[in-house]
Structure 1
Amino acid sequence: MEEIKVTYSGNIKTTAAKGGSQITTATDNSPESRTAGTTFTPVDMLVNSLGACMLSMMGATAARKGIDIGRPTATMTYDTDPATHRVTAVRVVFDVDGTNLSEADRKVIMGAAKACPVAASLSESIAKELVFNF
């Protein structure tokens, strides 16, 4: 089992370290909470995880199948419920160099993104919109 240790740093900030490595990340709360807003919020990290997972799945599948997808990007936006602060919708826009991709390759890449385990772990009550620009 993987381990991540999160330490509360005060002033609504945290620092997380991945077990056994020197890799760290920090979170801050949103500017609406009267904090600096200089790093990702925990909700930003959730949405970032979704985009990173989808891109990773696309890249792994492309490599396994010999499909050149270049260096695609994912731009995510999200909505939250003002009362509960829960994420209600996420929109992911992928920009992929599709110059040399067949329609079959594009379907494989889109299917890989949709198979992301982070997406499968999110509540079905969260609307997920995926846009693929090839």
Structure 2
Amino acid sequence: MTTIKSSYKGNLRTSATHVASTNTIITDAPVDNNGKGEAFSPTDLVCAALGSCMMTIMGIVANRCEINVEGMEIETKKIMAAEPRRISEVVLTFKMPANGYSDKDKAMLENAARTCPVALSLHPDIKQTITFLY
């Protein structure tokens, strides 16, 4: 079964619809690559997917171990390389709610983030720099 249906709208804009939910997102090419920059770029979505996947897997572990991570936030920075144009690094800074995490809790949560499906799917040349602030 198809997961996503996408279409090119012209002027470097695309639309992607999640078939099961009918939620739709658009992308625009960034200004530095001939676009309008009015929406996430495709490479922005890769970085957002990485952060969202990390938080989701951390949430699964947290629920299983009865650890409260509600309110966790990530600030994400995308670093691009040229020749060829590609993502060279994603810098993620986790801001964890003040919940008195034990060293064991921290180790489990951080391992969950680093081993999420998106993190493991990205090419190894894409550096993932991850900081956790407790």
Provide TM-score, normalisation by structure 1: 0.94
Residue matched to 2:72: 72
Residue matched to 1:50: 50
> Structure 1 residues 82-91 or 23-32, which shifts more?
82-91
Unaligned runs of 5+ in 1: none
Alignment deviations for residues 27-86 of structure 1 (CA, whole Å, 9 cap, x no partner): 000012343211000000000000000011111110111001221011111211122111
| Residue correspondence of structure 1 range 1-134 to structure 2 within 5 A | 3-134=3-134
Contact 2:79 2:88 in 1 (8 A): yes
RMSD of the TM alignment (CA)?
1.3
Q: What letter corresponds to residue 41 of structure 2 in structure 1?
A: T
Q: What letter corresponds to residue 12 of structure 1 in structure 2?
A: L
Q: Which secondary structure does the structure 2 equivalent of 1:35 belong to?
A: coil
How many residues are matched?
134
In the superposition, relative to structure 1, how do residues 93 and 5 fare at CA in structure 2: closer, same or farther (>3 Å)? same
Provide TM-score, normalisation by structure 2: 0.94
Contact 2:68 2:99 in 1 (8 A): no
Q: Which secondary structure does the structure 2 equivalent of 1:54 belong to?
A: helix
